[in-house]
Structure 1
Amino acid sequence: MINVKRYVMAGGTFAAALGIGFVMQNGSAQAPAGVPQVVAQSLVPKGPAPQSQALEIEGITHTAALVPKPVTQTPAIKATTAQDKMALPDMPELRHATLRDTPVGALPQDEPAPSFGCEVTMTAEPTAAAMVDLTLDAPCLGNARLTIHHSGLMFTQVTSEDGKLSITVPALAEDAVFIAAFASGEGAVANTEVSSLAFYDRVAVQWKGDSGLQIHAREYDADYGGEGHVWAERARDMAAAARGIGGFITPLGDHSAAEPSLAEVYTFPTGTATLEGEVALSVEAEVTTANCGREVDAQTMQTGGGRPLKVHDLTLQMPACDAVGDFLVLRSLLNDLTVARN
């Protein structure tokens, strides 16, 4: 057992109001009609903002004045008479000279601008467990910050020194479209077909900065800290899902980037599971020194069994800093999974 305090916040104690960002992909998921809206409740009272006061400044005395510069008199200019002019010799040959253009040869031409091969390209290839391998090549954008968008999911990455990036992303749609967008306006699009997605259930949570949010999955009635408790510190990998024995967590986003957009995705092999039972799902927020006493914005997504993607937006007021180390358990955002033996 994990020895921490967990405060369960069941149905209707927190709610929709996100400002995490925009979606750059057409047909991005929206919350379907009939999805219950959750209601926000502040856990930390907010006091009135302090009133600012105007500062009055009096008795300012000018200590110096600009003194105009004296006007300098312009000396008189003496008129030149005919006697003062220098007589030029009579050169009759100049009077009959004719100006002629002399060819100077071909002028030098501008060198053509070199081509640096700065095109940004990206490929998407499906792999095991309904995952997709993304490969990005941006030769002129080394160590550059970018955002990956997919079906409403968005997270920050950084290219290598030579402008390359290779990551594996969980697909949220069978017709999977991925967009890479740089701050400079450069970008690339790639798409692929992920036919195996129908065999998996998938939930995601995304946020910006240090929110302390995590997905927790307790498979087959597992206790916290037990073998079937899957979360960031016991994430497993896609091999568990490929064998049908359980799910795994995929972290997305580069924490070292400035103000990164981050995400976690939990994948469970519902269609190939070797056992039957329940998987309890929750989003939990650990109270840390970075998030205590402030609001956290996030978004959850859930899909599986051919069902459309469900989206919930969340604004959560975190407890005061004397609760650092505790967890808030948000149970109303995700639906638990019922697993039938295959």
Structure 2
Amino acid sequence: MIADLKAKAAGIDRKRIYTAAAALLIAGAAGHFMQKNSSAPSGKGPMVASAPAVAGVAAPKPTMAAPAPQILAAAVPAPETPAEAPAVAPVDVVAEAPLPAIEQPMPSFAEANLVIGMAPEAPSAADPMPVDLVTRSEATPSPILATPDPVPAAPPVEEIIIAAADVANDLASEPAPPVATCEIAMDLAAEAPALVAITLSAPCNSGEEVTFSHAGMIFSEQLGPEGDLFLAMPAMEENAIVTATFSDGQEAAGDILVPDFAEIERVALVWKGPTGLQLHALENGANYGEAGHIWAETPASAENAIAGTGGFVSALGSTADGYAADIYTYPAALMLDGQEPDISIEAQVMENTCAHEIAGTILRSNPGRAATVQSLSMAVPGCDAVGEYLVLKNLPQDLKLARN
């Protein structure tokens, strides 16, 4: 019985000794660590807790260790020993001598556990390590293990050569503007009373002089800035053939049927240059300067002939040295009633014509056949008669307006 008690006492004493030793080791290590990290020393050293007294064993006296924060070390239960552990003789622990301060680094948590007989806990399967999650599809390679795609090489830099300014090259690179066609076009249209409307287009001949000819009648006109021209020409024949001749010899021609040609009577006077020739008509017994006096200065209107009330004069030719013509138109119905107008051809004496001979052409229209054409000439008096008028009294009988 006594032997059993001694064995148990020995076992108990051995457990307490192990416990006390472990507590002292932890306290010492903690004190050393706190002493090194403390910024202001304390007046009193920390008390090192001693292990509880064990029966039969003298408790070590508390000693003054290096200054450190006061730490209360809890007694860590020692691992249980087998019940059949062999008896070990009690060992007297000398407590008078203080434990020397051990200059060693603070043990890690794992080391402390090993010292006091505790194994480090292995990570539990329930507490997985925190990791960064990357969501990807099965077809997508792992962003960690996959080899990054090679960076594409930069495209080669092309050398740009700036050529010297070249006006000819710059103009050649730009699209050329459409070139205006130089085609000459002439359109004819019949209008009342027995007129031919002429539209001429010659874009490359702007401003040039053009001479028109029709049934012995000739006159010259000037093209506009765009090379075009519009005028109304009295027809001298039912089937009107018109030719336009340019200064460089180019020509444009056309013809048209004039349906109302038989409804009118016409006399035309043609000349070239400044001759002073004029065509006058006196209607309803009028005298010069009265309402029935029709000539280039008082031409009347084509509406008179359309309405059948009177005639009118058309003056063609706009160039100084070209051909010009005065054409008198009169309704044929008025002649049947005995209202024939008196026709006269006159010439004004001018400085450029005095003491010279002037010439011209007289034309008369004939329904159903070609126009009658007769040349005309006269001698102009001396220059002391400048400003006066010459009246031709001996006109051919068939040129007087009268129904045959």
TM-score of the two chains, using structure 2 as the length reference? 0.53
Cα distance in 2, alignment partners of residues 186 and 240 from structure 1: 37
Cα distance in 2, alignment partners of residues 152 and 260 from structure 1: 15
Residue 181 of structure 1 aligns to a residue whose secondary structure is strand
Cα distance in 1, alignment partners of residues 221 and 339 from structure 2: 37
Instruction: Name the residue aligned to 2:31.
Output: none
Cα distance in 1, alignment partners of residues 329 and 247 from structure 2: 31
Question: Which of 187, 197, 200 is the matching residue for 1:136?
Answer: 200
Instruction: Name the residue aligned to 1:8.
Output: none
Residues matched between the structures, number? 227
1:260: Cα distance to partner? 1.1
What value does the CA root-mean-square deviation take over the aligned residues? 2.3
Residue 309 of structure 2 aligns to a residue whose secondary structure is coil
Instruction: Name the residue aligned to 1:243.
Output: 307
Instruction: Name the residue aligned to 2:322.
Output: 260
Question: Which of 283, 291, 300 is the matching residue for 1:227?
Answer: 291
Instruction: Name the residue aligned to 1:204.
Output: 268
The aligned runs of 1:272-291 (5 Å cut-off) are 276-291=338-353
CA contact (8 A) 1:199 1:272 kept: no
Residue 195 of structure 1 aligns to a residue whose secondary structure is coil
Cα distance in 2, alignment partners of residues 126 and 181 from structure 1: 21
Percent sequence identity over matched residues? 36
Residue 242 of structure 1 aligns to a residue whose secondary structure is helix
Pair 1:175-2:239 in alignment? yes
Instruction: Name the residue aligned to 2:392.
Output: 330
CA contact (8 A) 2:210 2:245 kept: yes
- Which amino acid is 2:214 matched to? H
The aligned runs of 1:20-169 (5 Å cut-off) are 116-169=180-233
1:275: Cα distance to partner? 5.7
Q: CA, structure 1 residues 220+234, in 2 after alignment: closer, same or farther (shift >3 Å)?
A: same
CA contact (8 A) 1:278 1:336 kept: no
Greater relative CO (CA pairs within 8 A, separation 6+): 1
CA contact (8 A) 1:221 1:278 kept: no
Residue 345 of structure 2 aligns to a residue whose secondary structure is strand
CA contact (8 A) 1:246 1:273 kept: no
Residue 278 of structure 1 aligns to a residue whose secondary structure is coil
Cα distance in 1, alignment partners of residues 327 and 304 from structure 2: 15
Cα distance in 1, alignment partners of residues 370 and 213 from structure 2: 18
1:278: Cα distance to partner? 2.4
CA contact (8 A) 1:275 1:339 kept: no
1:201: Cα distance to partner? 0.6
- Which amino acid is 1:313 matched to? S
Instruction: Name the residue aligned to 1:321.
Output: 383
Question: Which of 302, 306, 309 is the matching residue for 2:371?
Answer: 309
Pair 1:297-2:359 in alignment? yes
Cα distance in 2, alignment partners of residues 190 and 150 from structure 1: 10
- Which amino acid is 2:263 matched to? F
CA contact (8 A) 1:155 1:252 kept: yes
Q: CA, structure 1 residues 322+181, in 2 after alignment: closer, same or farther (shift >3 Å)?
A: same
Where does structure 1 lack aligned partners over 5 or more consecutive residues? 1-111
Cα distance in 1, alignment partners of residues 181 and 370 from structure 2: 40
Cα distance in 2, alignment partners of residues 220 and 304 from structure 1: 23
1:274: Cα distance to partner? 9.5
Instruction: Name the residue aligned to 1:187.
Output: 251
- Which amino acid is 2:282 matched to? R
1:297: Cα distance to partner? 1.4
Cα distance in 1, alignment partners of residues 334 and 182 from structure 2: 44
Q: Relative to structure 2, which stretch is displaced further, 293-302 or 270-279? A: 270-279
Larger relative strand fraction: 1
Cα distance in 2, alignment partners of residues 306 and 186 from structure 1: 32
- Which amino acid is 2:347 matched to? A
CA contact (8 A) 2:334 2:340 kept: no
| CA distances 1:66-91 after superposition (whole Å, capped 9, x unpaired) | xxxxxxxxxxxxxxxxxxxxxxxxxx
Cα distance in 1, alignment partners of residues 215 and 400 from structure 2: 22
1:137: Cα distance to partner? 0.6
Pick the structure with greater CA Rg. Answer: 2
1:242: Cα distance to partner? 0.8
Pair 1:215-2:303 in alignment? no
Q: CA, structure 1 residues 307+190, in 2 after alignment: closer, same or farther (shift >3 Å)?
A: closer
1:115: Cα distance to partner? 5.9
CA contact (8 A) 1:240 1:247 kept: yes
